[in-house]
Chains A and B, each alone.
Chain A
Amino acid sequence: MSGNMNLTLKIWRQKNNKAKGELVNYKVADISPDMSFLEMFDVLNEQLITKGDEPVAFDHDCREGICGICSMHINGRPHGPKHGITTCQLHMRSFKDGDTIVVEPWRAQAFPVIKDLAVDRSAFDRIIAAGGYVSVNTGNAQDGNTLPVPKTDADMAFAAAACIGCGACVAACKNASAMLFVSAKVNQLAHLPQGQPERMERVRAMVAQMDKEGFGSCTNTGACEAECPKEISLVNIAAMNRDYLRANLLDSEG
Protein backbone atom coordinates (compact mmCIF):
# COMPACT_ATOMS: atom_id res chain seq x y z
CA MET A 1 0.00 0.00 0.00
CA SER A 2 1.19 3.50 -0.67
CA GLY A 3 2.23 5.45 2.41
CA ASN A 4 3.47 2.36 4.18
CA MET A 5 6.98 2.62 5.54
CA ASN A 6 10.17 0.70 6.07
CA LEU A 7 11.87 1.41 9.37
CA THR A 8 15.06 0.58 11.23
CA LEU A 9 14.59 -0.11 14.92
CA LYS A 10 17.34 0.01 17.53
CA ILE A 11 15.89 -1.88 20.46
CA TRP A 12 17.38 -2.55 23.89
CA ARG A 13 17.71 -6.31 24.37
CA GLN A 14 18.54 -7.67 27.80
CA LYS A 15 18.01 -11.34 28.75
CA ASN A 16 17.27 -10.71 32.41
CA ASN A 17 17.96 -8.36 35.29
CA LYS A 18 21.54 -9.57 35.72
CA ALA A 19 22.54 -9.79 32.06
CA LYS A 20 24.32 -7.03 30.20
CA GLY A 21 22.05 -5.50 27.58
CA GLU A 22 22.71 -3.83 24.24
CA LEU A 23 20.92 -2.02 21.44
CA VAL A 24 20.12 -4.41 18.57
CA ASN A 25 19.15 -3.34 15.04
CA TYR A 26 15.97 -4.69 13.41
CA LYS A 27 14.25 -3.90 10.13
CA VAL A 28 10.49 -3.82 9.71
CA ALA A 29 8.85 -3.38 6.31
CA ASP A 30 5.49 -2.22 4.98
CA ILE A 31 4.33 -0.63 8.26
CA SER A 32 0.97 1.13 7.95
CA PRO A 33 0.81 4.70 9.26
CA ASP A 34 -2.48 3.76 10.95
CA MET A 35 -0.83 1.18 13.19
CA SER A 36 -0.14 2.02 16.80
CA PHE A 37 3.46 1.85 17.95
CA LEU A 38 2.67 -1.35 19.87
CA GLU A 39 1.09 -2.95 16.79
CA MET A 40 4.32 -2.22 14.95
CA PHE A 41 6.05 -4.15 17.76
CA ASP A 42 3.58 -7.01 17.29
CA VAL A 43 4.60 -7.14 13.61
CA LEU A 44 8.26 -7.22 14.60
CA ASN A 45 7.67 -9.96 17.18
CA GLU A 46 5.75 -12.16 14.69
CA GLN A 47 8.67 -11.72 12.34
CA LEU A 48 11.10 -12.77 15.11
CA ILE A 49 9.00 -15.76 16.19
CA THR A 50 8.69 -16.99 12.57
CA LYS A 51 12.46 -16.84 12.29
CA GLY A 52 12.79 -18.74 15.58
CA ASP A 53 14.26 -15.74 17.44
CA GLU A 54 13.30 -14.56 20.90
CA PRO A 55 10.52 -11.91 20.64
CA VAL A 56 11.07 -8.51 22.31
CA ALA A 57 9.54 -8.37 25.79
CA PHE A 58 7.51 -5.19 26.29
CA ASP A 59 4.70 -4.22 28.66
CA HIS A 60 1.21 -3.67 27.26
CA ASP A 61 -2.31 -4.24 28.48
CA CYS A 62 -5.34 -2.05 27.78
CA ARG A 63 -3.96 -0.44 24.60
CA GLU A 64 -6.28 2.53 25.07
CA GLY A 65 -4.21 4.82 27.27
CA ILE A 66 -5.74 4.11 30.67
CA CYS A 67 -3.76 1.29 32.28
CA GLY A 68 -0.33 2.94 32.24
CA ILE A 69 1.65 -0.25 31.74
CA CYS A 70 3.13 0.48 28.29
CA SER A 71 6.46 2.15 28.83
CA MET A 72 9.20 2.53 26.16
CA HIS A 73 11.61 5.43 25.85
CA ILE A 74 11.28 6.27 22.15
CA ASN A 75 13.83 8.46 20.36
CA GLY A 76 14.91 10.00 23.65
CA ARG A 77 11.46 10.64 25.13
CA PRO A 78 9.07 8.60 27.29
CA HIS A 79 6.14 7.43 25.13
CA GLY A 80 7.73 8.99 22.07
CA PRO A 81 7.44 12.34 20.31
CA LYS A 82 3.82 13.30 20.99
CA HIS A 83 2.45 15.21 23.99
CA GLY A 84 -0.07 13.84 26.49
CA ILE A 85 -0.28 10.23 25.26
CA THR A 86 0.94 6.77 26.20
CA THR A 87 2.90 4.50 23.83
CA CYS A 88 -0.22 2.60 22.77
CA GLN A 89 -1.75 5.92 21.67
CA LEU A 90 1.29 6.76 19.55
CA HIS A 91 0.68 6.01 15.89
CA MET A 92 3.14 5.24 13.14
CA ARG A 93 1.99 8.33 11.23
CA SER A 94 4.25 10.21 13.66
CA PHE A 95 7.22 8.68 11.81
CA LYS A 96 8.54 8.82 8.26
CA ASP A 97 9.59 6.13 5.81
CA GLY A 98 13.25 5.28 6.36
CA ASP A 99 13.36 6.55 9.96
CA THR A 100 15.59 4.96 12.58
CA ILE A 101 13.79 4.64 15.91
CA VAL A 102 15.66 4.06 19.17
CA VAL A 103 13.62 2.22 21.82
CA GLU A 104 14.92 1.83 25.37
CA PRO A 105 13.39 0.79 28.70
CA TRP A 106 12.70 3.33 31.50
CA ARG A 107 16.05 4.02 33.13
CA ALA A 108 16.11 4.35 36.91
CA GLN A 109 17.78 2.69 39.86
CA ALA A 110 14.29 2.14 41.30
CA PHE A 111 12.95 0.59 38.05
CA PRO A 112 15.21 -2.42 37.40
CA VAL A 113 14.94 -4.00 33.95
CA ILE A 114 13.15 -7.36 34.05
CA LYS A 115 13.74 -8.20 30.41
CA ASP A 116 14.29 -6.12 27.25
CA LEU A 117 11.88 -3.18 27.53
CA ALA A 118 9.95 -4.39 30.58
CA VAL A 119 10.89 -2.79 33.90
CA ASP A 120 9.83 -3.52 37.46
CA ARG A 121 7.69 -0.60 38.67
CA SER A 122 6.66 -2.20 41.98
CA ALA A 123 8.46 0.66 43.76
CA PHE A 124 5.35 2.70 42.90
CA ASP A 125 3.13 0.05 44.50
CA ARG A 126 5.20 0.18 47.69
CA ILE A 127 4.88 3.99 47.81
CA ILE A 128 1.07 3.66 47.54
CA ALA A 129 1.10 0.91 50.17
CA ALA A 130 2.99 3.25 52.51
CA GLY A 131 0.00 5.56 52.81
CA GLY A 132 -1.73 6.34 49.51
CA TYR A 133 -5.14 5.26 50.71
CA VAL A 134 -7.91 6.00 53.21
CA SER A 135 -7.79 3.48 56.06
CA VAL A 136 -11.49 3.24 56.83
CA ASN A 137 -14.27 2.12 54.53
CA THR A 138 -15.95 5.33 53.39
CA GLY A 139 -19.12 3.51 52.40
CA ASN A 140 -21.40 4.26 49.48
CA ALA A 141 -21.44 7.57 47.66
CA GLN A 142 -22.96 10.27 49.88
CA ASP A 143 -26.19 12.04 49.01
CA GLY A 144 -25.51 15.26 47.17
CA ASN A 145 -24.40 18.15 49.44
CA THR A 146 -24.10 16.10 52.62
CA LEU A 147 -20.36 16.33 52.27
CA PRO A 148 -19.60 19.74 50.73
CA VAL A 149 -16.41 19.89 48.65
CA PRO A 150 -15.41 23.20 47.05
CA LYS A 151 -15.33 22.93 43.26
CA THR A 152 -11.65 23.97 43.06
CA ASP A 153 -10.67 21.22 45.53
CA ALA A 154 -12.73 18.62 43.69
CA ASP A 155 -11.09 19.67 40.40
CA MET A 156 -7.61 19.47 41.85
CA ALA A 157 -8.24 16.04 43.37
CA PHE A 158 -9.75 14.83 40.13
CA ALA A 159 -6.83 16.09 38.02
CA ALA A 160 -4.34 14.43 40.38
CA ALA A 161 -6.34 11.18 40.33
CA ALA A 162 -5.83 11.00 36.56
CA CYS A 163 -2.31 9.67 37.22
CA ILE A 164 -2.02 6.14 35.81
CA GLY A 165 1.32 5.38 37.48
CA CYS A 166 3.12 4.74 34.20
CA GLY A 167 6.46 6.13 35.40
CA ALA A 168 7.05 8.51 32.48
CA CYS A 169 7.81 11.25 35.03
CA VAL A 170 10.67 9.17 36.45
CA ALA A 171 11.85 8.19 32.98
CA ALA A 172 11.90 11.81 31.77
CA CYS A 173 13.49 13.34 34.87
CA LYS A 174 17.25 13.77 34.70
CA ASN A 175 17.31 12.80 38.40
CA ALA A 176 14.91 9.86 37.98
CA SER A 177 12.74 11.58 40.58
CA ALA A 178 9.26 10.24 41.38
CA MET A 179 7.96 13.52 42.80
CA LEU A 180 5.23 14.05 40.20
CA PHE A 181 3.82 10.56 40.76
CA VAL A 182 3.99 10.77 44.56
CA SER A 183 2.53 14.28 44.64
CA ALA A 184 -0.40 13.17 42.44
CA LYS A 185 -1.09 10.24 44.75
CA VAL A 186 -0.84 12.50 47.81
CA ASN A 187 -3.02 15.26 46.38
CA GLN A 188 -5.86 13.11 45.07
CA LEU A 189 -6.66 12.52 48.75
CA ALA A 190 -5.29 15.68 50.43
CA HIS A 191 -8.06 17.89 49.01
CA LEU A 192 -11.03 15.70 49.85
CA PRO A 193 -12.74 15.38 53.25
CA GLN A 194 -12.11 11.62 53.39
CA GLY A 195 -8.38 12.21 53.05
CA GLN A 196 -8.06 14.70 55.92
CA PRO A 197 -7.61 12.47 59.02
CA GLU A 198 -4.45 10.83 57.62
CA ARG A 199 -3.25 13.76 55.55
CA MET A 200 -0.08 14.52 57.55
CA GLU A 201 1.09 10.99 58.24
CA ARG A 202 0.29 10.03 54.63
CA VAL A 203 2.61 12.61 53.08
CA ARG A 204 5.43 11.75 55.47
CA ALA A 205 5.14 8.01 54.96
CA MET A 206 4.91 8.22 51.18
CA VAL A 207 7.88 10.59 50.86
CA ALA A 208 9.92 8.36 53.20
CA GLN A 209 9.13 5.32 51.02
CA MET A 210 9.95 7.29 47.87
CA ASP A 211 13.39 8.14 49.29
CA LYS A 212 13.92 4.55 50.39
CA GLU A 213 13.25 3.24 46.87
CA GLY A 214 16.20 5.22 45.53
CA PHE A 215 14.47 7.82 43.35
CA GLY A 216 16.35 11.10 42.86
CA SER A 217 15.28 14.47 44.22
CA CYS A 218 13.28 17.12 42.39
CA THR A 219 15.15 19.99 40.70
CA ASN A 220 12.02 21.48 39.13
CA THR A 221 13.10 21.09 35.51
CA GLY A 222 9.47 20.43 34.59
CA ALA A 223 10.36 17.51 32.29
CA CYS A 224 7.91 15.23 34.16
CA GLU A 225 4.95 17.53 33.59
CA ALA A 226 5.84 17.94 29.91
CA GLU A 227 6.04 14.16 29.36
CA CYS A 228 3.11 13.05 31.54
CA PRO A 229 0.45 11.33 29.41
CA LYS A 230 -2.20 12.57 31.85
CA GLU A 231 -0.77 16.10 32.08
CA ILE A 232 -0.39 16.02 35.86
CA SER A 233 0.64 19.53 36.92
CA LEU A 234 3.75 20.68 38.81
CA VAL A 235 1.31 22.45 41.13
CA ASN A 236 0.94 19.04 42.80
CA ILE A 237 4.63 18.97 43.72
CA ALA A 238 4.46 22.42 45.32
CA ALA A 239 1.30 21.41 47.20
CA MET A 240 2.97 18.24 48.45
CA ASN A 241 6.05 20.21 49.56
CA ARG A 242 3.73 22.52 51.53
CA ASP A 243 2.01 19.58 53.19
CA TYR A 244 5.35 17.92 53.87
CA LEU A 245 6.72 21.08 55.51
CA ARG A 246 3.56 21.49 57.56
CA ALA A 247 3.53 17.83 58.59
CA ASN A 248 7.12 18.03 59.82
CA LEU A 249 6.97 21.44 61.46
CA LEU A 250 3.51 21.44 63.01
CA ASP A 251 2.42 17.85 63.46
CA SER A 252 2.37 17.03 67.18
CA GLU A 253 3.17 13.39 66.47
CA GLY A 254 6.78 14.54 65.93
Chain B
Amino acid sequence: MGVFSFLLKSSIGKKIIMGLTGLFLIIFLVVHCGVNALIFMNDGGVLFNEAAEFMATNILIRTMEIVLFLGILVHIFQGLYLVFENKKARPVSYAMTNGNANSKWYSRSMGLLGTLLLIFLIIHLRHFWYVSRLTNELNANETLFDEMKEVFSLLWVVMVYLLGMISLSYHLMHGFQSAFQTLGWNHKKYTPIISAIGFCYSIIIPLIFSIMPIAFYLGWIK
Protein backbone atom coordinates (compact mmCIF):
# COMPACT_ATOMS: atom_id res chain seq x y z
CA MET B 1 0.00 0.00 0.00
CA GLY B 2 2.90 2.32 0.76
CA VAL B 3 3.77 2.62 -2.90
CA PHE B 4 0.30 3.86 -3.77
CA SER B 5 -0.40 6.02 -0.72
CA PHE B 6 0.27 9.15 -2.81
CA LEU B 7 -2.93 8.36 -4.71
CA LEU B 8 -4.94 8.84 -1.54
CA LYS B 9 -2.95 11.62 0.10
CA SER B 10 -1.90 14.13 -2.55
CA SER B 11 -4.14 16.39 -4.63
CA ILE B 12 -2.67 15.05 -7.86
CA GLY B 13 -3.13 11.45 -6.64
CA LYS B 14 -6.80 12.08 -5.93
CA LYS B 15 -7.26 13.53 -9.40
CA ILE B 16 -5.49 10.53 -10.94
CA ILE B 17 -8.05 8.29 -9.21
CA MET B 18 -10.86 10.43 -10.65
CA GLY B 19 -9.33 10.14 -14.12
CA LEU B 20 -8.75 6.39 -13.98
CA THR B 21 -12.22 5.57 -12.63
CA GLY B 22 -13.71 8.00 -15.14
CA LEU B 23 -11.98 6.28 -18.06
CA PHE B 24 -13.12 2.90 -16.70
CA LEU B 25 -16.72 4.15 -16.63
CA ILE B 26 -16.30 5.50 -20.16
CA ILE B 27 -15.37 1.98 -21.33
CA PHE B 28 -18.32 0.54 -19.42
CA LEU B 29 -20.72 2.92 -21.19
CA VAL B 30 -19.64 1.54 -24.57
CA VAL B 31 -20.50 -2.02 -23.47
CA HIS B 32 -23.77 -0.88 -21.87
CA CYS B 33 -24.75 1.10 -24.95
CA GLY B 34 -23.78 -1.72 -27.31
CA VAL B 35 -25.84 -4.36 -25.52
CA ASN B 36 -28.87 -2.08 -25.16
CA ALA B 37 -28.69 -1.05 -28.81
CA LEU B 38 -29.80 -4.61 -29.63
CA ILE B 39 -33.37 -3.41 -28.97
CA PHE B 40 -33.13 -1.55 -32.27
CA MET B 41 -33.17 -4.97 -34.04
CA ASN B 42 -36.93 -4.61 -33.46
CA ASP B 43 -37.28 -8.36 -33.03
CA GLY B 44 -39.51 -8.11 -29.98
CA GLY B 45 -36.45 -8.06 -27.77
CA VAL B 46 -35.32 -11.63 -28.54
CA LEU B 47 -31.65 -10.81 -29.16
CA PHE B 48 -31.60 -8.19 -26.40
CA ASN B 49 -33.01 -10.63 -23.84
CA GLU B 50 -30.43 -13.22 -24.87
CA ALA B 51 -27.64 -10.72 -24.31
CA ALA B 52 -29.19 -9.62 -21.00
CA GLU B 53 -29.40 -13.25 -19.92
CA PHE B 54 -25.70 -13.70 -20.76
CA MET B 55 -24.77 -10.55 -18.83
CA ALA B 56 -26.77 -11.78 -15.83
CA THR B 57 -25.30 -15.29 -15.69
CA ASN B 58 -21.71 -15.14 -16.97
CA ILE B 59 -19.37 -15.36 -13.98
CA LEU B 60 -16.79 -13.02 -15.53
CA ILE B 61 -19.40 -10.37 -16.21
CA ARG B 62 -20.84 -10.71 -12.71
CA THR B 63 -17.36 -10.25 -11.24
CA MET B 64 -16.85 -7.17 -13.39
CA GLU B 65 -20.19 -5.91 -12.10
CA ILE B 66 -18.69 -5.75 -8.62
CA VAL B 67 -15.60 -3.94 -9.94
CA LEU B 68 -17.92 -1.58 -11.81
CA PHE B 69 -19.89 -0.73 -8.67
CA LEU B 70 -16.64 -0.13 -6.80
CA GLY B 71 -15.45 2.13 -9.61
CA ILE B 72 -18.70 4.11 -9.59
CA LEU B 73 -18.66 4.47 -5.81
CA VAL B 74 -15.04 5.63 -5.74
CA HIS B 75 -15.73 8.11 -8.56
CA ILE B 76 -18.81 9.48 -6.73
CA PHE B 77 -17.34 9.76 -3.24
CA GLN B 78 -13.94 11.01 -4.37
CA GLY B 79 -15.70 13.52 -6.64
CA LEU B 80 -17.96 14.83 -3.89
CA TYR B 81 -15.04 14.96 -1.46
CA LEU B 82 -12.97 17.00 -3.94
CA VAL B 83 -15.87 19.41 -4.53
CA PHE B 84 -16.01 20.15 -0.79
CA GLU B 85 -12.22 20.34 -0.47
CA ASN B 86 -12.05 22.78 -3.36
CA LYS B 87 -14.84 24.91 -1.89
CA LYS B 88 -12.70 25.21 1.25
CA ALA B 89 -9.81 26.54 -0.83
CA ARG B 90 -11.82 29.74 -1.43
CA PRO B 91 -13.70 30.55 1.81
CA VAL B 92 -14.65 34.09 0.72
CA SER B 93 -16.11 34.11 -2.77
CA TYR B 94 -15.91 36.93 -5.31
CA ALA B 95 -18.73 39.46 -5.53
CA MET B 96 -18.30 39.31 -9.30
CA THR B 97 -16.92 36.55 -11.48
CA ASN B 98 -16.86 36.21 -15.23
CA GLY B 99 -16.10 32.53 -15.64
CA ASN B 100 -17.33 32.34 -19.21
CA ALA B 101 -14.47 34.61 -20.23
CA ASN B 102 -11.90 31.96 -19.39
CA SER B 103 -13.56 28.52 -19.33
CA LYS B 104 -16.58 26.45 -20.35
CA TRP B 105 -19.54 26.36 -17.98
CA TYR B 106 -19.68 22.57 -18.02
CA SER B 107 -16.02 22.21 -17.07
CA ARG B 108 -16.73 24.37 -14.02
CA SER B 109 -19.90 22.41 -13.20
CA MET B 110 -18.64 18.82 -12.98
CA GLY B 111 -19.82 18.54 -9.37
CA LEU B 112 -23.33 19.71 -10.26
CA LEU B 113 -23.52 17.54 -13.41
CA GLY B 114 -22.18 14.58 -11.43
CA THR B 115 -24.81 15.08 -8.73
CA LEU B 116 -27.57 15.15 -11.37
CA LEU B 117 -26.09 11.95 -12.79
CA LEU B 118 -26.08 10.38 -9.32
CA ILE B 119 -29.79 11.14 -8.92
CA PHE B 120 -30.41 9.73 -12.39
CA LEU B 121 -28.33 6.66 -11.58
CA ILE B 122 -30.38 5.89 -8.45
CA ILE B 123 -33.64 6.13 -10.45
CA HIS B 124 -32.12 4.07 -13.26
CA LEU B 125 -30.81 1.32 -10.97
CA ARG B 126 -34.21 1.11 -9.27
CA HIS B 127 -35.91 0.72 -12.67
CA PHE B 128 -33.73 -2.03 -14.07
CA TRP B 129 -30.84 -3.33 -11.99
CA TYR B 130 -32.91 -3.71 -8.81
CA VAL B 131 -35.79 -5.41 -10.62
CA SER B 132 -33.63 -7.79 -12.63
CA ARG B 133 -30.97 -8.65 -10.06
CA LEU B 134 -32.59 -8.35 -6.65
CA THR B 135 -36.20 -9.39 -7.22
CA ASN B 136 -37.90 -12.33 -8.89
CA GLU B 137 -40.28 -10.16 -10.84
CA LEU B 138 -38.68 -10.98 -14.16
CA ASN B 139 -39.11 -14.41 -15.80
CA ALA B 140 -39.76 -15.99 -19.19
CA ASN B 141 -43.10 -14.19 -19.48
CA GLU B 142 -41.92 -10.85 -18.11
CA THR B 143 -38.47 -10.17 -19.60
CA LEU B 144 -36.10 -7.23 -19.18
CA PHE B 145 -37.30 -6.05 -22.59
CA ASP B 146 -40.89 -5.99 -21.30
CA GLU B 147 -39.69 -4.08 -18.26
CA MET B 148 -38.11 -1.48 -20.53
CA LYS B 149 -41.33 -1.16 -22.49
CA GLU B 150 -43.30 -0.65 -19.31
CA VAL B 151 -40.90 1.84 -17.71
CA PHE B 152 -40.65 3.95 -20.86
CA SER B 153 -44.41 4.14 -21.33
CA LEU B 154 -44.52 7.03 -18.87
CA LEU B 155 -43.73 10.49 -20.22
CA TRP B 156 -42.10 11.81 -17.02
CA VAL B 157 -39.72 8.84 -16.95
CA VAL B 158 -38.72 9.52 -20.55
CA MET B 159 -38.11 13.17 -19.63
CA VAL B 160 -35.97 12.20 -16.62
CA TYR B 161 -33.90 9.92 -18.82
CA LEU B 162 -33.40 12.63 -21.42
CA LEU B 163 -32.29 15.11 -18.75
CA GLY B 164 -29.95 12.43 -17.39
CA MET B 165 -28.42 11.97 -20.84
CA ILE B 166 -27.96 15.72 -21.34
CA SER B 167 -26.09 15.82 -18.01
CA LEU B 168 -24.04 12.82 -19.11
CA SER B 169 -23.16 14.46 -22.40
CA TYR B 170 -21.80 17.63 -20.77
CA HIS B 171 -20.10 15.64 -17.99
CA LEU B 172 -18.26 13.61 -20.66
CA MET B 173 -17.55 16.65 -22.81
CA HIS B 174 -15.23 17.84 -20.05
CA GLY B 175 -14.40 14.54 -18.36
CA PHE B 176 -13.12 12.61 -21.37
CA GLN B 177 -10.25 14.91 -22.29
CA SER B 178 -9.73 16.04 -18.68
CA ALA B 179 -8.90 12.45 -17.66
CA PHE B 180 -6.11 12.31 -20.23
CA GLN B 181 -4.73 15.68 -19.12
CA THR B 182 -4.69 14.55 -15.47
CA LEU B 183 -2.85 11.37 -16.41
CA GLY B 184 -0.25 13.52 -18.12
CA TRP B 185 -1.29 12.79 -21.69
CA ASN B 186 -1.00 16.20 -23.29
CA HIS B 187 0.85 16.12 -26.58
CA LYS B 188 0.83 18.32 -29.65
CA LYS B 189 0.08 15.36 -31.92
CA TYR B 190 -2.33 13.35 -29.81
CA THR B 191 -4.31 15.88 -27.75
CA PRO B 192 -6.32 17.17 -30.75
CA ILE B 193 -7.18 13.55 -31.62
CA ILE B 194 -8.20 12.77 -28.04
CA SER B 195 -10.31 15.93 -27.88
CA ALA B 196 -12.03 15.06 -31.18
CA ILE B 197 -12.76 11.48 -30.05
CA GLY B 198 -13.97 12.81 -26.69
CA PHE B 199 -16.31 15.28 -28.39
CA CYS B 200 -17.80 12.62 -30.68
CA TYR B 201 -18.11 10.14 -27.82
CA SER B 202 -19.89 12.70 -25.60
CA ILE B 203 -22.48 13.30 -28.33
CA ILE B 204 -22.93 9.81 -29.79
CA ILE B 205 -23.22 7.64 -26.66
CA PRO B 206 -25.79 9.84 -24.82
CA LEU B 207 -27.67 10.26 -28.12
CA ILE B 208 -28.00 6.50 -28.69
CA PHE B 209 -29.10 6.08 -25.06
CA SER B 210 -31.63 8.91 -25.49
CA ILE B 211 -33.24 7.32 -28.54
CA MET B 212 -34.09 4.20 -26.48
CA PRO B 213 -36.76 5.67 -24.17
CA ILE B 214 -38.07 7.85 -27.02
CA ALA B 215 -38.35 4.83 -29.33
CA PHE B 216 -40.30 2.86 -26.72
CA TYR B 217 -42.53 5.79 -25.82
CA LEU B 218 -43.43 6.54 -29.43
CA GLY B 219 -43.92 2.87 -30.21
CA TRP B 220 -41.12 2.60 -32.78
CA ILE B 221 -40.00 -0.55 -31.02
CA LYS B 222 -42.65 -3.20 -30.52
Chain A residues whose CB sits within 8 angstroms of the CB of B115 once the complex forms: none
Q: Is B140 among interface residues, defined by CB-CB distance under 8 A?
A: no
Q: Is A215 among interface residues, defined by CB-CB distance under 8 A?
A: yes
Complex Cα gap A215–B93 (Å): 14
Complex Cα gap A184–B2 (Å): 28
Q: Is A128 among interface residues, defined by CB-CB distance under 8 A?
A: no
Chain B residues whose CB sits within 8 angstroms of the CB of A245 once the complex forms: 12, 16, 183-184
Say whether B181 contacts A174, CB under 8 Å: no
Chain A residues whose CB sits within 8 angstroms of the CB of B103 once the complex forms: 174, 221-223, 226
Say whether A242 contacts B96, CB under 8 Å: no
Complex Cα gap A108–B110 (Å): 20
Say whether A239 contacts B86, CB under 8 Å: no
Q: Is A62 among interface residues, defined by CB-CB distance under 8 A?
A: no
Chain A residues whose CB sits within 8 angstroms of the CB of B11 once the complex forms: 177, 207, 210-211, 215-218
Q: Is B98 among interface residues, defined by CB-CB distance under 8 A?
A: yes
Say whether A211 contacts B184, CB under 8 Å: no
Chain A residues whose CB sits within 8 angstroms of the CB of B183 once the complex forms: 241, 245
Say whether A220 contacts B96, CB under 8 Å: no
Selected contact of A76 from candidates B2, B3, B94, B186, CB within 8 Å: B94
Chain A residues whose CB sits within 8 angstroms of the CB of B82 once the complex forms: 217, 219
B14 and chain A: residue at smallest CB distance: A217
Contact A242 B184, CB 8 Å, known A109-B88, A219-B107: yes
Interface size on A, residues (CB 8 A): 48
A175 and chain B: residue at smallest CB distance: B86
Chain B residues whose CB sits within 8 angstroms of the CB of A211 once the complex forms: 10-11
Q: Is A237 among interface residues, defined by CB-CB distance under 8 A?
A: yes
Q: Is A75 among interface residues, defined by CB-CB distance under 8 A?
A: yes
Q: Is A139 among interface residues, defined by CB-CB distance under 8 A?
A: no
Selected contact of A107 from candidates B6, B88, B92, B186, CB within 8 Å: B92
Chain B residues whose CB sits within 8 angstroms of the CB of A223 once the complex forms: 99, 102-103, 108
* Shortest beta-carbon distance from B153 to chain A in Å: 39
* Shortest beta-carbon distance from B90 to chain A in Å: 4
Say whether A23 contacts B184, CB under 8 Å: no
Complex Cα gap A75–B11 (Å): 30
B79 and chain A: residue at smallest CB distance: A219
Q: Is A116 among interface residues, defined by CB-CB distance under 8 A?
A: no
* Shortest beta-carbon distance from A172 to chain B in Å: 6
Selected contact of B89 from candidates A81, A177, A208, A237, CB within 8 Å: A177
- Interface membership of chain B positions 81-114, coded 1 if the CB is closer than 8 angstroms to chain A and 0 otherwise: 0100110111111111111011110011010000
Say whether A174 contacts B96, CB under 8 Å: no
Complex Cα gap A109–B178 (Å): 25
Which residues of chain A from 69 to 83 have any CB-CB distance to chain B below 8 Å in the complex?
A: 73, 75-77, 81
Say whether B98 contacts A237, CB under 8 Å: no
Complex Cα gap A215–B11 (Å): 9
Q: Is B185 among interface residues, defined by CB-CB distance under 8 A?
A: yes
* Shortest beta-carbon distance from A146 to chain B in Å: 29
Say whether B15 contacts A218, CB under 8 Å: yes
* Shortest beta-carbon distance from B86 to chain A in Å: 4
* Shortest beta-carbon distance from B114 to chain A in Å: 11
Mind listing 28 A-B residue pairs with CB under 8 Å? A76-B101, A81-B101, A102-B95, A107-B92, A108-B89, A174-B103, A175-B86, A175-B90, A214-B88, A216-B90, A217-B11, A217-B12, A217-B14, A218-B11, A218-B12, A219-B178, A220-B177, A220-B182, A223-B102, A226-B103, A238-B182, A238-B185, A242-B184, A245-B16, A248-B6, A248-B13, A254-B2, A254-B3
Pairs A-B, 3 closest by C-beta atoms: A238-B186, A242-B184, A76-B98
CB within 8 Å of A: which residues of B?
Answer: 2-3, 6, 10-16, 82, 85-86, 88-99, 101-104, 107-108, 110, 174, 177-178, 181-186
